[in-house]
Amino acid sequence: MSPLWRDELRIALTPGALAWARFRRGFSRRGPETGVLRLPAQMDGPAWQPAIDALAQVLDTAGGAQAAVVLSNHFIRYLVLPGNVDITGAPEWEEYARHRFTVAHGAAAQGWSLRLSADGAKAPRLASAVDAALLEQLRETFARKYVPLGSIQPHLMVSFNRFRAKFDGKDAWFVSHEPGRLSLGLLRQGAWHSIRNRRAESNWQAELADMIDMEHQLASLREPCR
């Protein structure tokens, strides 16, 4: 079957739930089929394991579809690498990113899979890291269920790409919210300057201005960015 005629299955993996939507292709005019599996709290092991364990149940009904997976920011670490003309080529950038993650998070970073934005050598790059075991089990589950996996993306990038055009080289804060998690990213002249994951309480909206003020101080900004 041509990929253009395959149904599209979008799946979101989070610590507390696995959600999906199936979009019909061809001549069908029906809206997407959607569903949510609530997951038990993970007492031992990685926080992503319940979502992986539940994935096979969703894929059992995914025949004929091609999947795209979005990973919760709970499972992703981010950092911004400053531009560096002395670093040449993707392997050197990845080595530099792994060093920075190791400094920030310790030896566990050696077992993470990294992805970097493809910007110029002089521009800052956004780096993301995810447990390599998560990606391995994810891909193995799709292969075992014979469901083609088109992409795996962090929630931050999916949400940011929806609004990328609105920034247009401006200074701005981008805030991505999930239950229990905030990702606060600062853009200067349209390029990433800093990013931080923070715990989100139920009243996070009321506290957001204070959080951004604190991030201003941590970023050592001369002028506030709103």
Per-residue pLDDT tens for 4-33? 567 899 999 999 999 999 988 765 556 688
* 189, 170 contact by CB (below 8 A): yes
Cα(200)–Cα(119) distance, rounded to whole angstroms? 30
Phi, psi of 124, deg, nearest 5? -60, 150
Q: What's the average model confidence in pLDDT over 86-112?
A: 92
Label residue 79 by pLDDT band (50, 70, 90): very high
* 95, 44 contact by CB (below 8 A): no
Q: Is the model's pLDDT at 206 over the cut of 50? A: yes
Q: What's the average model confidence in pLDDT over 74-97?
A: 90
* Strands across the sheet containing 149-154: 33-38, 17-23, 7-13, 65-71, 149-154
Of 88-97, 99-108, 216-225, give the range with the top mean pLDDT. 99-108
Length of the chain: 226
In this predicted structure, what is the pLDDT of residue 67?
94
The residues, ordered by sequence, that sit 6+ positions from 71 with a Cβ below 8 Å of its Cβ are 13, 48, 130, 134, 152, 153, 154, 155
Q: Residue for token digits 């998070």?
A: 105
Label residue 1 by pLDDT band (50, 70, 90): very low
Say whether 225 sits in a helix, a strand or coil.
coil
In this predicted structure, what is the pLDDT of residue 224?
65
Say whether 137 sits in a helix, a strand or coil.
helix
pLDDT top residue among 68 and 65: 68
Of 16-30, 50-64, 78-92, 142-156, give the range with the top mean pLDDT. 142-156
Q: Is 34 left (phi over 0), alpha (psi -120 to 50) or beta?
A: beta
Say whether 34 sits in a helix, a strand or coil.
strand
Per-residue pLDDT tens for 131-190? 999 999 999 999 999 999 999 999 999 999 888 888 877 888 899 999 999 999 998 888
In sequence order, what are the beta bridge partners of 195?
Answer: 185
Compute the mean pLDDT over every residue in the chain, rounded to the nearest whole number. 88
Alpha-carbon torsion 158, 142, 60, 131, what sign? negative
Percent of the chain with pLDDT over 70: 92
Label residue 54 by pLDDT band (50, 70, 90): very high
Percent of the chain with pLDDT over 90: 59
